Chains A and B, each alone.
Chain A
Amino acid sequence: MTALVQHVASGVASGGIYGSLALAIVLIYRATGVINLAQGELATLSAFGCWTLVDHGWAFWPAFGATLALSFGGGVALHALLLQPLRNSPLLRSVLVTAGLALAVNGLDTWIWGGASRSFHGPFSASAVTAGGVALSKQDLGVAGVSLAAALVTGLLLVRTKLGLGLRAVVSPVEARFAGVRVGALAAVGWGLAAALGAVAGMLAAPSLQLDPNMMQRVLLYAFAAAALGGLLSPVGAVVGGIVLGVFLDLAGAYVHRIGGELRPATALAVLAGVLLLRPNGLLGGTAPERA
């Protein structure tokens, strides 16, 4: 029983990371209709940025905040430079641009910081808190708390603010434009938010994964699976999908002994393919609006 609770807790922690990255993917998909293939690499770049600030003597949380701000600005700039010029071209071109961006960022990381993995000291210690006879690691609790807080802030922004209303409206860009929504500007904000959420995922994942240019490769697969579980268009679905997937993968790895560590990505791929095949609108159901 104790072991089960511990597995669920660590599943929720890694699921929170997947959910944050999935939320970033969903935000960009809603705002511009593009699956951002560079989302994982951008998260890694943010994590490297945070590492560099800490290396220069910053405390973790100020570095965390500065990285979020820089990532937001970077996301807006990338949208202006790469996506805005292609707004009247077929979506294929925009997705290919993000593929090029993924390679370029990966190369830049390797160029600047080298390919070897380095340890990243997060804000949470590996020691345990005991609650009701169950020992949970502070690392897991902290990661789950921060990623869920980030998702909650994003959710409140989407539901409670005028900016969020606009961000929800741009999923139908033509109608939104008729209603006086500035679609281009909001898409830029969507890219900024997504980059910041990706940065949260990257900085939370780095302590347990070791920081290297390919760090987020598997995490991006889990995030795609999480986003698909939520139906690709639903922000709530992405976060829920991330947590469900994280817990499922941890429990499957622990209790189905054939799965183990090596089959984790293959299991995620099976989930992704299964959802696309059987429930293309995600587990939460509903009919997704077709994107024009």
Chain B
Amino acid sequence: MRFKASVFGLAAVLLVAAPVALSQFRTEQLTEVGVTFIAILGLDVLVGHAGQISLGHGAFMAVGGYTTAILMADHGVRDLWTIPVAAAVAGAVGLVAGVTAVRLSGFSLALVTFGLAVAFPALVLRFDHFTGGAAGIELAGKPAQTGHGAGVVVLGRHLSNGDWGYGLTWTVAVACFLLVRWLLSSRFGRALRAVRDDERAAATSGISRAVAKVGALGVSAALAGTAGSLLAIDTAQVGPGTFSAELSLYLLAGAVVGFFCSVRGAIVGALLLQFLPDLARLLPHVGSREAGPATFVLGLAVVLVTLLLPPALRAGTAFARRAEARTE
């Protein structure tokens, strides 16, 4: 317990100190890490605890991002208040996608969410009067933006836009982290793991398979929507390039690399997704910040983690071990 408390304390100190100690560029990178962290938390709920795969979390992020952007640009809603709306809209899309997939056992959810990831960028281009099409939506300086792009005063201190984005993103990220931990230790979390480990045994205990699976995707998509909304606020724009079709696969990879979809590992996955291109540059014959080698190394890491990580480190097994200890 003391170890755990000191780890969390250290993390809190590092989080607060980072923007003071680091350059503006590094601070912005860490803000993106916070965004990715929230999206990966969502995947941890779905993959690690419900045993389902989503290849569409990039699309759920995009739903959140565009919800925020459209509310801010067309309806003048203050950016902070769009975050819960974006989470709700993305969560609703997740629920709908989940409903189509529960009738088939196995991995039909992966198929539907993959379809979302591929179809969404094309939809953005098709309905361009709504989404801004290829140009996207610019949010900088809009009246709905906190501080109108000229920095924000918090508790008497003037923060630059970058520092404000960092503070906002990580405040929401820590709140999401605590929320997810609470949710997973609640009755809902136990239901998810029961369905993942044995659907029939779970049904015998009165747990609805459909409610657990659809609920997990709803929560998971809402977290991704929150991440997308924050990304839109932080970068003050959205466009087709903000959420590529490949983003979903990267997020899934980040979740797997973070100790096989454990909530604690989400930060590892988020850091790796951000800084892997820098690390890949250290490989021989890799000169610039090329996409290829970094993607290759990430894919290889996913394969190796899945193949080699001993079952004891798998998400959820700590829970199983505790249950065993109790019965002995």
Question: Are A and B part of the same complex?
Answer: yes
Whether A225 is near chain B, meaning CB under 8 Å from some CB there, is yes
Once the chains bind, are B295 and A106 in contact (CB under 8 Å)?
yes
- Complex contacts, A109 vs chain B, CB 8 Å: 292
Once the chains bind, are B101 and A107 in contact (CB under 8 Å)?
no
Given contacts A37-B55, A262-B122, A280-B104, contact A97 B296 (CB under 8 A): no
Q: Count the A-B residue pairs with Cβ separation under 8 angstroms: how many?
A: 163
What are 25 pairs between A and B in contact, CB < 8 Å?
A37-B55, A37-B110, A91-B106, A95-B107, A96-B256, A97-B303, A99-B302, A100-B253, A100-B299, A100-B301, A100-B306, A103-B295, A104-B298, A106-B295, A107-B291, A107-B294, A110-B296, A111-B292, A111-B293, A115-B292, A214-B246, A228-B108, A272-B115, A273-B97, A280-B108
Tell me, rounded to whole Å, the shortest Cβ–Cβ distance linking B116 to chain A.
7
Once the chains bind, are A35 and B299 in contact (CB under 8 Å)?
no
Once the chains bind, are B295 and A107 in contact (CB under 8 Å)?
yes
Given contacts A86-B307, A100-B300, A265-B119, contact A224 B111 (CB under 8 A): yes
Cα–Cα distance between A163 and B116 once the two chains are bound (Å):
37
Which of chain B's residues 46-60 have a Cβ closer than 8 Å to chain A? 47, 51, 53, 55
Whether A150 is near chain B, meaning CB under 8 Å from some CB there, is no
A-contacting residues of B (Cβ < 8 Å)?
47, 51, 53, 55, 97, 99-101, 103-108, 110-112, 114-116, 118-119, 122-123, 125-126, 245-246, 249-250, 252-253, 256, 290-303, 306-307, 311
- Complex contacts, B253 vs chain A, CB 8 Å: 99-100, 103
- Complex contacts, B125 vs chain A, CB 8 Å: 262
Once the chains bind, are A103 and B104 in contact (CB under 8 Å)?
no
- Complex contacts, B51 vs chain A, CB 8 Å: 90, 92
- Complex contacts, A102 vs chain B, CB 8 Å: 249, 299
Cα–Cα distance between A99 and B295 once the two chains are bound (Å):
12
Does more than half of chain A's interface fall in helix, strand or loop, or is it mixed?
helix
Given contacts A265-B122, A266-B119, contact A232 B299 (CB under 8 A): no
Cα–Cα distance between A46 and B104 once the two chains are bound (Å):
31
Once the chains bind, are A92 and B299 in contact (CB under 8 Å)?
no
Stretch binding the partner chain, chosen from A66-74, A120-128, A215-223, A244-252: A215-223
B-contacting residues of A (Cβ < 8 Å)?
33, 35, 37, 82, 85-86, 89-93, 95-97, 99-112, 114-115, 214, 217-218, 220-221, 224-225, 228, 232, 260, 262-266, 268-269, 272-274, 276-277, 280, 290-291
Cα–Cα distance between A264 and B119 once the two chains are bound (Å):
8
- Complex contacts, A110 vs chain B, CB 8 Å: 290-292, 295-296
- Complex contacts, A291 vs chain B, CB 8 Å: 106
- Complex contacts, B119 vs chain A, CB 8 Å: 221, 265-266, 268-269
- Complex contacts, B114 vs chain A, CB 8 Å: 37, 220-221, 224
Q: Specify the chain B residue showing the minimal Cβ separation from A99.
A: B252
Tell me, rounded to whole Å, the shortest Cβ–Cβ distance linking B164 to chain A.
34
Once the chains bind, are A265 and B296 in contact (CB under 8 Å)?
no
Cα–Cα distance between A232 and B55 once the two chains are bound (Å):
18
Tell me, rounded to whole Å, the shortest Cβ–Cβ distance linking A126 to chain B.
26
Tell me, rounded to whole Å, the shortest Cβ–Cβ distance linking B241 to chain A.
14
Cα–Cα distance between A91 and B106 once the two chains are bound (Å):
9
Cα–Cα distance between A248 and B122 once the two chains are bound (Å):
19
Tell me, rounded to whole Å, the shortest Cβ–Cβ distance linking B53 to chain A.
6
Cα–Cα distance between A102 and B114 once the two chains are bound (Å):
13
With beta carbons under 8 angstroms apart, the residue of A93, A103, A268 that contacts B298 is A103
- Complex contacts, B47 vs chain A, CB 8 Å: 92, 96
Tell me, rounded to whole Å, the shortest Cβ–Cβ distance linking A22 to chain B.
11
Once the chains bind, are B296 and A100 in contact (CB under 8 Å)?
no
Once the chains bind, are B306 and A97 in contact (CB under 8 Å)?
yes
With beta carbons under 8 angstroms apart, the residue of B100, B118, B250 that contacts A103 is B250
Given contacts A90-B51, A107-B291, A110-B290, contact A273 B100 (CB under 8 A): yes
- Complex contacts, A217 vs chain B, CB 8 Å: 118, 245
Once the chains bind, are B249 and A107 in contact (CB under 8 Å)?
no
Once the chains bind, are A111 and B111 in contact (CB under 8 Å)?
no
Given contacts A101-B299, A103-B299, contact A96 B306 (CB under 8 A): yes
Once the chains bind, are B110 and A95 in contact (CB under 8 Å)?
yes
- Complex contacts, B297 vs chain A, CB 8 Å: 107
Once the chains bind, are B302 and A107 in contact (CB under 8 Å)?
no
Tell me, rounded to whole Å, the shortest Cβ–Cβ distance linking A165 to chain B.
24
Given contacts A108-B296, A265-B115, A268-B115, contact A100 B302 (CB under 8 A): yes
Once the chains bind, are B100 and A107 in contact (CB under 8 Å)?
no
Cα–Cα distance between A85 and B306 once the two chains are bound (Å):
11
B99, B108, B123, B256: residue with the most chain A Cβ atoms closer than 10 Å:
B108
Tell me, rounded to whole Å, the shortest Cβ–Cβ distance linking A125 to chain B.
30
Q: Specify the chain A residue showing the minimal Cβ separation from B48.
A: A92
- Complex contacts, A225 vs chain B, CB 8 Å: 115
